[in-house]
Amino acid sequence: MKSSEEHRKYLIVFGDSFSSVGNRGEQPKFLANWYTRFSNGPVWPEYLAHDGGFALIDFAVGGAVTNNKFIESQTGIKSQLADVLGQVSLYKSIFRGKFSPSSLQDDVVVIEIGTNDIFPVYERVFGGSVDLINYSNETVKSTISALESLIKFGYKNFVVTDTPNLSNMPVFGKLDQKALDSLDDYVRMTNKKLEIARAALETKYSSEVNYIRTVSFYDIYKTIPTMDLKKLLDTTAICDPNMPLGENAIYSKRSDSDSYFCVDGAHPSTRVHALLSSVFLETLRTGNVHISKEVIEKLVNDNEIRKVGSEDNRLYNENSLKTGNLNVEEYTIETTQLHVGKLVGRKDSHALHFKWHSASGQFHPHFEH
């Protein structure tokens, strides 16, 4: 927890390095660029929590996939990191039976996952031995399973992201056009399936949820590179053309990191994260946002995105550059477990129709006389 202000609306985030604020402990220095964030400053959940008036509970883990067991069965690569199913399972085990139903009405759950089902295992997935249709189906199935379990937990407001346009990422820049086209075909196929499944899930639970919306990372990542980056974001390029890429590359802090869309081979700068957050915030306010050049330009201007940077940032306090602490009330997996009582008690002190029963360890309906 970093901010002295306490909020009763929670933003709960599950995902990978695009969303993580530090859940891997000893992270590799070449990825943990800014106090355990995979960027050069705050990341989108922190901007969204700050601007939307939420306390942030972030269970996202850098390197996470949708389903460890399935990915291992297809690629032979075993991960010790919590996949999105594991993140959700852990969250539910921590809070099961502790929140009254009425206290969850204004909370928002975001699931951002899928990139690492491809990113670190690209050669094995596209090497010819993996059934890409089945692989895509399982990615979507695991994401929907995570969403459905959180609906049954009691949450009512959801946002899910699709997979970014990976073929635009610097890390894939050495692939030939045929390989890039195949990668893009796969991502678009998976995203289409996810959107169909999301809509079906929203229909299935229409009487139980307020919404299940989509933020299209794919459309954002596909559209921005076609725009004038200098005019739009005051950046000079997608990435530094001299930046080292590959497993052994070391990315050290640099003074010109705000000049690029990506701070490494895949991860966006904090300025881009602020833009991503503005899309999320608009999605919460008005519904799914159709991404276009005009929409992006408006969000950049309305939210003064060009003023956001790694050194000067509206989320910073006087100690942020020395500590990584922000003007955001936020919790990692570890700090969530340390503050369960406070997180539960704060919300349910205002839940008028439920009372805590210590014997059962749950809330039960309570009628005032």
Tell me what pLDDT residue 255 has: 80
Contact 68, 145 (CB under 8 A): no
Residue with the bigger pLDDT between 257 and 155: it is 155
User: In the sheet that 211-215 helps form, which strands lie side by side, from edge to edge?
Assistant: 211-215, 157-161, 108-112, 10-15, 55-58, 330-331
Contact 99, 363 (CB under 8 A): yes
Strand partners, 214: 160
CA within 13 Å, CB half, 195: 14
Span 250-283, pLDDT tens digits? 666 778 899 999 998 899 999 999 999 999 999 9
Helix (H) or strand (E) holding 12: strand 10-15
Residue with the bigger pLDDT between 319 and 350: it is 319
Give the pLDDT mean for 340-367: 58
10: amino acid identity, one letter: Y
Span 182-207, pLDDT tens digits? 999 999 999 999 999 999 999 999 99
Span 79-133, pLDDT tens digits? 999 999 999 999 999 999 999 999 999 999 999 999 999 998 999 999 999 999 9
Tell me what pLDDT residue 359 has: 42
Q: Does domain 10-365 have CATH number 3.40.50.300?
A: no
Largest CA distance in the chain: 73
Residue 289 has pLDDT above 70, yes or no: yes
**Can you spell out the DSSP letters for 127-175?**
SSSS-HHHHHHHHHHHHHHHHHHHHHHT--EEEEE----GGGSGGGTTS
CA-to-CA distance for 327 and 318, rounded, in angstroms? 10
Q: Which long-range contacts (CB under 8 A, 24 or more apart) does 358-363 make?
A: 360/97, 361/97, 361/98, 362/97, 362/98, 363/97, 363/98, 363/99, 363/100, 363/101
Using only C-alpha atoms, the chain has a radius of gyration, in whole angstroms, of 20
Query: Taking the model in full, what pTM does it have?
Result: 0.92
CA-to-CA distance for 322 and 306, rounded, in angstroms? 23
SS3 312: coil
The domain ranges of the chain are: 10-365
Helix (H) or strand (E) holding 323: helix 320-323
Contact 77, 121 (CB under 8 A): yes
Span 64-74, pLDDT tens digits? 999 999 999 99
